[in-house]
């Protein structure tokens, strides 16, 4: 391939119609005509779908035939197709630093559909700025960084465990961080799982055991990630590990400690349906298989220490900060249920017999707090009538605007399980729509719907209250018949929506963004569903959006495969767009040194020196330098000057 | 033809830039009279860039940065930007440019509706202010 000559700018502009997405609003022919007049532009053309094979070939041919040394693609957003065109221009021998994609779709046609003339003019201005920028871009050698062949998975639910096992099986060491004393996530709290009705514990416990004994997986429970620095291929993380106070290796699970412990607290595993001690085993199959002290409630009385036959307990154990270097991160922190107390009309948190869907799961589990008997929590009497309220706090602008997608299925499952345990019981299910898309799901729902004693009622519940005899009274409207309904019930079960379990602070540390509802944001819902804006950080499971188990598992394996792809390389090429010092101008004042948030600049022999690997390319130093001696590569003073001039050089008509 | 303003906006690509993208995906319409440029961090901008933009013909300059305290991609870029631009706004009046012609807002990526609303508001403000009367005074700075 002929070497490209970068001396005089020869820029090609490629304007995409995106079908009609752009062309229906922006007059692309006019745009082409206008951009041809821009300084440095020697070629401009438009095409229906620039991202298609033919579209890319147009670019490649033009680079070769017109001897282009710069390319501007005006199309959709860089997050969608930057890489597509980067590969195309590089295949024609042009360095991608002399290519840019600017959005005239998200940034123009899709938001200015009301004004064709201005949208067209704006598109020209956007392209003019990009041309000015590319004209001044220099080609720098890429900076190579070593990749740390180790991965971090945050969250030990089914998604996190699956990702960890997949990565570990590829021979890559994994660190799995779980904030609870055991892995398992929400799935371990479930009874059976739709649509196959296999027991949740039987499916998940072998996975948990596999994680526990996998030679490539290092598990930190009671732990949270408190700091993340670095970048794709090379992150440095700090993990805070709360004291367990029980030695995992020594504990023999005899349970004497728990018997001796005088402190009783609410058991979060059963969602408050039972009590546990301050030293406890979360549940029999917990991994790691060891008791744990709840340091918040423990009174340090020392009773457990006295009875432990193997001296496994150490009440003086302190919190630890563990530091690890990893090359990639998977975030799988899962979900929580929406807070039912925000729905006072349903009486959650007011009446004992109004419970949430996870509590109902616990009532079904044979080893659960009621040994699998479905009873009124107020007095332990058998529950002969159960009302299920679907979409509780969901699809409601005052609560959660979205649909959590799995509740129709789990409510059908719960009604079925209820009938199998209480054959003469009655189940009423209030729904708005029943949504059961999924393999085998509709069939499952049909089956449940036909069971005598299970009644589906289309409508919303207005209010739930308790009468003098401790029965719940549910009032609502059947919107199909228009009838007002009043049902006397023993239990009311709320299908509360799924909310993400991802605090903003952790998201900010990981540099990933969240959507309007707080779920982790993928780069592209269709094409990059597990990638995040932060390179090297991937997402899996319910933290990205409401999901059932099969979807969580599929996404976890997808995230794992991305991690494996990344960590199978030895080096990663870093963007060379870092700060650069003009030594002849630098007077060594050191202002940049103190400005840099990464400590990437130092003074050597009286002039500033940039550590290219540490520099993140923000440009803070360039704006601070009083003599203009430090600049950001390819976003220099000259770039700004010319971009601004180009935007205002375009004539309005 | 009657005068219409053309503004320039610099968006922090990790937050405000994504918000602008979401505005597109959600078809939230806003005034076209602003050209938005994504940059890694607004802390790259020095007051000189802003002044130069006014000189080159900008009727207003917009900066969309990341919401403090924790969302800055570069730890402290938002604070740095705020301090610099705050000082610049104090100076602007002295050379005859209304400080309202420079506006900063802070974002996290889901705030696309806010972005559209803020831009519309800003364009309206500039329309009310009218064109910059004398750019020579700026030049003399
Ligand atoms: C009532 C109910 C019934 C259901 N029934 C079914 C069913 O029958 N079939 C089906 O397919 N699906 C069912 N589901 C859905 C299923 O529970 C989810 O799809 C699945 O649990 C999602 O797995 P996950 O790993 O993404 O999240 P989770 O299970 O929530 O796991 C996340 C893990 O991350 C940990 N974590 C959170 N934050 C942090 C942090 N900052 N640091 C470290 N660790 C952290 C949590 O402690 C947890 O262990 C049901 C859900 C509900 C609510």
For B100-129, the pLDDT digits (tens) are: 999 999 999 899 999 999 999 999 999 999
Q: What separation in angstroms does the CA of A561 have from each of A194, A327, A418, A556, A571?
A: 27, 14, 40, 9, 18
Cβ neighbors of A219 (< 8 A, separation 6 or more) are A156, A176, A178, A183, A211, A212, A287, A288
Q: A227 in contact with B at a CB cutoff of 8 Å?
A: no
State which fold the A336-499 domain adopts: FAD/NAD(P)-binding domain (3.50.50)
Percent of chain A with pLDDT over 90: 91
* Residue whose entry in the numeric block shows the structure tokens 């597109």: B24
Peptide bond into A464 cis (omega under 30): no
Q: Which of A152, A153, A157 to mutate to test the pocket of ligand 1 (most atoms within 8 A of CB)?
A: A157
Q: What separation in angstroms does the CA of A461 have from each of A431, A453, A470?
A: 9, 19, 19
Eight-state DSSP code of residue A8: S
Classify A170 as helix, strand or coil.
coil
Q: pLDDT confidence of B96, banded at 50, 70, 90?
A: confident
- A438 pLDDT above the threshold of 60: yes
CA dihedral A531, A532, A536, A541 (to 10 degrees): -60
Report the separation in Å between the CA atom of A471 and the middle of ligand 1, taken as the mean of its atom positions: 32
pLDDT in tens, A389-432: 999 999 999 999 999 999 999 999 999 999 999 999 999 999 99
Does the C-beta of A159 come closer than 6 Å to ligand 1? yes
Q: pLDDT confidence of A473, banded at 50, 70, 90?
A: very high
In this structure, are residues A45 and A73 in contact, taking their beta carbons and an 8 Å threshold? no
Nearest to A14 by CA among A109, A101, A139: A101
All CATH 3.30.70.20 domain ranges of chain A, comma separated, are 243-318, 577-633
Report the separation in Å between the CA atom of B112 and the middle of ligand 1, taken as the mean of its atom positions: 29
Q: What separation in angstroms does the CA of B53 have from each of A38, B83, B111?
A: 19, 19, 26
Strand partners, A354: A492
- A653 pLDDT above the threshold of 80: no
**How much is the pLDDT for B133?**
81
Cross-chain Cβ contact A635/B73 below 8 Å: no
**How much is the pLDDT for A297?**
96
- How many Å lie between the alpha carbon of A536 and the closest alpha carbon of chain B? 15
- B136 pLDDT above the threshold of 80: no
pLDDT in tens, A60-117: 999 999 999 999 999 999 989 999 999 999 999 999 999 999 999 999 999 999 999 9
Other residues' Cβ atoms within 10 Å of the Cβ of residue A117: 13
Q: Which of A549, A550, A555 to mutate to test the pocket of ligand 1 (most atoms within 8 A of CB)?
A: A549
All CATH 3.50.50.60 domain ranges of chain A, comma separated, are 151-242+320-332+511-567, 336-499
Distance CA A538, CA A563 (A): 8
Nearest to A496 by CA among A331, A385, A361, A365: A361
* Residue whose entry in the numeric block shows the structure tokens 């291929």: A233
Q: A597 in contact with B at a CB cutoff of 8 Å?
A: yes
Report the separation in Å between the CA atom of A489 and the middle of ligand 1, taken as the mean of its atom positions: 29
Residues 469-498 of A with CB under 8 A from B: none
Taking one residue from A and the other from B, the number of pairs with CB-CB distance under 8 angstroms is 134
Average pLDDT over residues A134-148: 93
Average pLDDT over residues B62-81: 89
Average pLDDT over residues A492-519: 93
**How much is the pLDDT for B137?**
60
**How much is the pLDDT for B74?**
87
Q: A320 in contact with B at a CB cutoff of 8 Å?
A: no
**How much is the pLDDT for A652?**
66
**How much is the pLDDT for B87?**
93
Q: A107 in contact with B at a CB cutoff of 8 Å?
A: yes
**How much is the pLDDT for B1?**
60
Closest residue by Cα to atom 9, ligand 1, is A193
- How many Å lie between the alpha carbon of B110 and the closest alpha carbon of chain A? 5
- B72 pLDDT above the threshold of 90: no
C-alpha radius of gyration, chain A, whole number: 30
Q: What separation in angstroms does the CA of A580 have from each of A134, A594, A612, A620?
A: 18, 16, 9, 12
Domain extents in chain B:
33-129
Cross-chain Cβ contact A644/B44 below 8 Å: no
Domain spanning A577-633, CATH architecture: 2-Layer Sandwich (3.30)
Average pLDDT over residues A122-150: 95
Nearest to A653 by CA among A126, A130, A116: A116
Average pLDDT over residues A570-584: 92
Specify the pTM.
0.80
All CATH 3.40.1400 domain ranges of chain A, comma separated, are 11-140
Interface test with A, best of B19, B22, B24 (most A CBs within 10 A): B24
Nearest to A622 by CA among A644, A638, A606, A646: A638
* Shortest-distance atom of ligand 1 to CA A192: 8
**How much is the pLDDT for A1?**
55
**How much is the pLDDT for A650?**
82
Closest residue by Cα to atom 28, ligand 1, is A334
pLDDT in tens, A169-185: 999 999 999 999 999 99
Percent of chain A with pLDDT over 70: 99
Q: What separation in angstroms does the CA of A16 have from each of A28, A90, A124, B121?
A: 8, 19, 13, 31
pLDDT in tens, A452-471: 999 999 999 999 999 998 99
**How much is the pLDDT for A126?**
97
* Shortest-distance atom of ligand 1 to CA A335: 30
- How many Å lie between the alpha carbon of A116 and the closest alpha carbon of chain B? 10
Q: A595 in contact with B at a CB cutoff of 8 Å?
A: yes
Cross-chain Cβ contact B76/A119 below 8 Å: no
- A628 pLDDT above the threshold of 60: yes
**How much is the pLDDT for B138?**
60
Does the C-beta of A556 come closer than 6 Å to ligand 1? no
Cβ neighbors of B35 (< 8 A, separation 6 or more) are A122, A125, A126, A129, A647, B6, B7, B8, B9
Interface test with B, best of A619, A633, A641 (most B CBs within 10 A): A619
**How much is the pLDDT for A581?**
97
Q: Which of A406, A416, A444 to mutate to test the pocket of ligand 1 (most atoms within 8 A of CB)?
A: A406
The CATH number of A243-318 is: 3.30.70.20
Run of H or E including A621: helix A620-624
Closest residue by Cα to atom 3, ligand 1, is A410
Cross-chain Cβ contact B29/A514 below 8 Å: no
Distance CA A602, CA A630 (A): 12
Contacts of A644 in chain B (CB under 8 A): 8, 49, 52-53, 56, 58
Does the C-beta of A334 come closer than 6 Å to ligand 1? yes
Domain spanning A151-242+320-332+511-567, CATH architecture: 3-Layer(bba) Sandwich (3.50)
Q: Which of A448, A548, A560 to mutate to test the pocket of ligand 1 (most atoms within 8 A of CB)?
A: A548
CATH class of A11-140: alpha beta
Strand partners, A329: A152, A537
Nearest by CB to residue B44, choosing from A79, A119, A620, is A620
* Helical segments of A186-289, H only: 200-213, 256-260
Beta strands in A48-188 (DSSP E): 70-75, 99-103, 143-146, 151-154, 174-177
**How much is the pLDDT for A2?**
62
Nearest by CB to residue B41, choosing from A618, A641, A648, is A618
Does the C-beta of A496 come closer than 6 Å to ligand 1? no
* Shortest-distance atom of ligand 1 to CA A177: 43
**How much is the pLDDT for A54?**
96
Cross-chain Cβ contact A620/B70 below 8 Å: no
**How much is the pLDDT for A170?**
98
Nearest by CB to residue B24, choosing from A106, A122, A645, is A106
In this structure, are residues A327 and A147 in contact, taking their beta carbons and an 8 Å threshold? yes
């Amino acid at each position: 391939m002929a070497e490209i000559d970068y001396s005089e700018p020869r820029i090609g502009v490629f304007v995409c119609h995106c079908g009609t997405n752009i062309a229906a609003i922006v007059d692309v022919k006019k745009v082409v005509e206008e951009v041809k007049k821009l300084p440095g532009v020697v070629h401009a053309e438009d095409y229906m779908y620039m991202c298609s094979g033919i579209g890319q070939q147009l670019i490649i041919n033009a680079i070769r035939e017109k001897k282009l040394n710069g390319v501007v693609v005006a199309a959709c957003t860089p997050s969608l197709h930057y890489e597509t065109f980067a590969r195309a221009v590089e295949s024609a021998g042009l360095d991608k630093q002399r290519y840019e994609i600017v959005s005239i779709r998200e940034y123009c046609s899709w938001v200015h559909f009301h004004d064709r003339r201005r949208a067209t003019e704006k598109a020209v201005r956007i392209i003019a700025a990009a041309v000015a920028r590319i004209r001044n871009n220099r080609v720098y050698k890429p900076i190579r960084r070593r990749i740390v062949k180790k991965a971090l998975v945050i969250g030990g639910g089914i998604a996190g465990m699956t990702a960890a096992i997949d990565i570990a099986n590829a021979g890559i060491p994994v660190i799995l961080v779980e904030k609870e004393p055991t892995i398992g996530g929400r799935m371990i709290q479930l009874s059976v799982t739709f649509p196959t009705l296999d027991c949740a514990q039987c499916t998940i416990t072998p996975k948990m055991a596999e994680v526990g004994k996998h030679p490539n997986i290092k598990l930190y429970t009671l732990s949270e990630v408190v700091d993340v620095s670095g970048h794709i291929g090379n992150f440095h993380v700090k993990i805070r590990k709360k004291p367990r106070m029980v030695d995992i290796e020594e504990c023999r699970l005899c349970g004497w400690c728990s018997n001796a412990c005088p402190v009783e607290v609410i058991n979060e595993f059963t969602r408050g349906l039972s009590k546990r001690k301050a030293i406890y085993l979360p549940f029999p199959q917990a991994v790691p298989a060891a008791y744990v002290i709840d340091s918040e409630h423990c009174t340090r009385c020392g009773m457990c220490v006295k009875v432990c036959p193997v001296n496994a307990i150490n009440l003086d154990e302190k919190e630890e900060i563990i530091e690890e270097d990893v090359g990639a991160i998977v975030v799988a922190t899962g979900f929580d249920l929406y807070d039912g107390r925000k729905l006072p009309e349903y009486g959650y948190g007011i009446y004992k017999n109004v419970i949430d869907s996870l509590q109902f799961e616990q009532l079904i589990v044979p080893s659960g707090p009621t040994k699998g008997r479905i009873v009124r929590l107020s007095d332990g009497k058998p529950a002969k009538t159960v009302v299920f309220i679907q979409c509780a706090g969901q699809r409601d602008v005052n609560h959660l605007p979205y649909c959590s997608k799995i509740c129709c299925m789990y409510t059908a499952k719960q009604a079925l399980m209820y009938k199998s345990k209480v054959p003469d019981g009655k189940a009423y299910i209030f729904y708005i729509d029943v949504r059961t898309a999924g393999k085998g799901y509709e069939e499952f729902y049909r089956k449940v719907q036909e069971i005598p004693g299970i009644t589906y009622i289309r409508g919303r519940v207005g209010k739930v209250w308790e009468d003098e005899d401790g029965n719940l009274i549910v009032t609502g409207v059947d919107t199909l018949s228009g009838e007002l309904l009043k049902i006397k019930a023993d239990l009311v079960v709320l299908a509360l929506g799924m909310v993400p379990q991802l605090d903003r602070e952790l998201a900010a540390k990981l540099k990933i963004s969240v959507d309007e509802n707080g779920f982790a944001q993928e780069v592209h819902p269709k094409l990059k569903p597990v990638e995040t804006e932060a390179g090297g950080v991937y997402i899996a499971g319910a933290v990205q959006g409401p999901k059932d188990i099969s979807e969580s598992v599929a996404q976890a394996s997808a995230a794992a495969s991305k991690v494996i792809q990344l960590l199978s390389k030895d080096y990663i090429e870093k963007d060379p767009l870092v700060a650069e010092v003009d030594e002849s101008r630098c007077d060594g004042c050191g202002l940049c040194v103190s400005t840099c948030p990464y400590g990437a600049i130092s003074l050597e022999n009286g002039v500033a020196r940039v550590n290219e690997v540490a520099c993140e390319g923000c440009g803070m130093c360039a704006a601070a330098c009083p003599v203009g001696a430090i600049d950001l590569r390819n976003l220099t003073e000259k770039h700004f000057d010319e971009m601004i001039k180009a935007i205002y050089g375009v004539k309005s008509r | 033809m009657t005068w219409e303003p053309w503004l320039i906006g610099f968006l922090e690509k990790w937050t405000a830039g994504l918000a602008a993208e979401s505005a597109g995906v959600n078809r939230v319409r806003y005034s076209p009279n602003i050209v938005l440029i994504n940059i890694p961090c607004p802390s790259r901008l020095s007051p000189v860039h802003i002044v130069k933009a006014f000189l080159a013909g900008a009727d207003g300059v917009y900066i969309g940065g990341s919401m403090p305290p924790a969302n800055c991609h570069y730890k402290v870029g938002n604070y740095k930007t705020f301090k610099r631009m705050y000082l610049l706004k104090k100076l602007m009046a002295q050379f005859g440019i209304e400080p309202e012609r420079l506006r900063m807002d802070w974002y996290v990526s889901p705030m696309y509706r806010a972005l559209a609303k803020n831009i519309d508001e800003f364009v309206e403000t500039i329309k009310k202010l009218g064109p910059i009367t004398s750019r020579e005074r700026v030049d003399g700075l």
